[in-house]
Amino acid sequence: MTRRLVRRLASLSVLALLIGAIPAAGAAAADEPPVRFATFNASLNRNAPGQALAQLSVPGNAQADAVAEIIQRVRPDVLLINEFDYEPANALAGAFQQNYLSVGHNGAAPIEYPYVFVAPSNTGISSGFDLNNNGVAVTTVGAPGYGDDSFGFGQFPGQYGMAVFSRFPIRYEQVRTFQHFLWKDMPGARLPDDPSTPAPADWYSPQELAVLRLSSKSHWDVPIEVGRKTVHFLVSHPTPPVFDGPEDRNGTRNFDEIRFWADYITPGRTSRYIYDDEGVRGGLRPGGLFVVAGDQNSDPLDGDSIRGSIQQLLDHPLVNTKVTPSSEGGPYWAEVQDALNDTHRSDPAYDTADFCDTAVPPPCSGPGNLRADYVLPRKNLRIVGAGVFWPDGGDPLRYLTGTGFPVPSSDHRLVWVDLRVPG
């Protein structure tokens, strides 16, 4: 019996005790129904401007069908979709709703989201500088190297954006966005260091730091009206901590993008430095209800992020981690794809992304399966159910996530948490 299997059996025993102690998803009192918050990196980005809109403006795209069916089967009340190309006026969100979410798939009922929030992303916006220090500042959209020199990686403005869909009213007038917050304005920022020079934290020039934004996409505080309460849906998509060099500019940025929300939910001096795109300073008001969600690109123990990156949220005194979303598919596919997964220390039941690494046909290469996607509520929001949509090899729904690459939907899995919001 492998150490991985021993850990798996032990975690299942603990999980069984937890599940036995909480109501099943949806089994809440009539006066306090649970609200399902979810995040899904759906990989609905495309390679050229307008391509996603063109494809989703008509029915029949196989990948969008699979993504929509997953959403219909999980039925989140409030959902963040990462890697959803930005289009003004909710155009892409409207097309996805009309042609995919509003159409039943394989017996799954349609689902309607009357409230949507989208905003511009830093991805694919030219910085005008040589941010990867290869000697050339690429400013032509789509040209080789353009993404590396943009404020956030993207071959065109808005690629890899995000969107919030909600069955509950969004208080649009109270939304805060932090797209333009400068990385240098975070006290103690982990600015990358050029290892070939003696000066510290000098990968970026003073002129570059004067314009360089922290968010690789954006950070949004989207207030959701749930009954008489407001829950702040704090959403983002930090950069992957790879695709750089020994300076680790993406790893350090990933760390600080995660840190941003940890500081934002901390009252007092810790969050005082923060300013939004309207110039309003400070973090979340003391006592405010929140759910942090998104593809954080950081596993607690495995992968390439700086150690302790996601722990900034997982170990935060205001964050509820009593129940961790899990699946049967995570351990199953970790055993099938075992080139690196057998060396991982995190429990595969908690994995949320299939970064395949196996020599078994069809071959694929990656860091192995990781926990990358999170839904993290405030401690006074009681968790009454949670899960990761990842069918195992014997589940009839495995066609939605696939058995290898290319995947029919996304290399990430939808993650959800059911919460009791106090009246």
Q: What is the pLDDT of residues 291-347, one digit of tens each?
A: 999 999 999 999 999 999 999 999 999 999 999 999 999 999 999 888 788 899 999
The reported pLDDT for the residue numbered 231 is 98
In a domain, 66, yes or no: yes
In a domain, 338, yes or no: yes
The reported pLDDT for the residue numbered 17 is 31
The reported pLDDT for the residue numbered 31 is 61
The reported pLDDT for the residue numbered 406 is 82
In a domain, 140, yes or no: no
Q: What count of Cα atoms within 13 Å lies in the side-chain half-sphere of residue 263?
A: 22
d(CA 9, CA 46) in angstroms, rounded, equals: 40
In a domain, 139, yes or no: no
In a domain, 79, yes or no: yes
Burial class (CB in 10 A: 0-12, 13-18, 19+), 60: exposed
Query: Look-up: residue for tokens 């996530």?
Result: 401
Helices (H), 22-169: 51-56, 62-74, 91-96
Structural domains in the chain (count): 1
Burial class (CB in 10 A: 0-12, 13-18, 19+), 406: exposed
The reported pLDDT for the residue numbered 362 is 63
d(CA 273, CA 48) in angstroms, rounded, equals: 37
What are the CA-CA distances from residue 50 to residues 53, 87, 147, 395 (Å)? 5, 8, 17, 36
Q: Tell me the β-bridge partners of 40.
A: 81
The reported pLDDT for the residue numbered 361 is 61
Spans of the chain below 70 pLDDT:
1-32, 358-365
In a domain, 144, yes or no: no
Stated length of the chain: 423
* Residue whose C-alpha is closest to residue 36's, from 385, 372, 315, 346: 385
The reported pLDDT for the residue numbered 358 is 66
The whole domain housing 374 covers: 35-123+158-420
User: Tokens at residue 401, please?
Assistant: 């996530």
Cβ atoms 287, 228 nearer than 8 A:
no
User: Tokens at residue 4, please?
Assistant: 């991985």
In a domain, 354, yes or no: yes
Provide the CATH number for the domain around residue 300: 3.60.10.10
- Report the amino acid identity of residue 169: P
The reported pLDDT for the residue numbered 236 is 98
User: Tokens at residue 379, please?
Assistant: 């401690």
User: Tokens at residue 162, please?
Assistant: 């995000």
Radius of gyration of the chain (CA): 21
In a domain, 138, yes or no: no
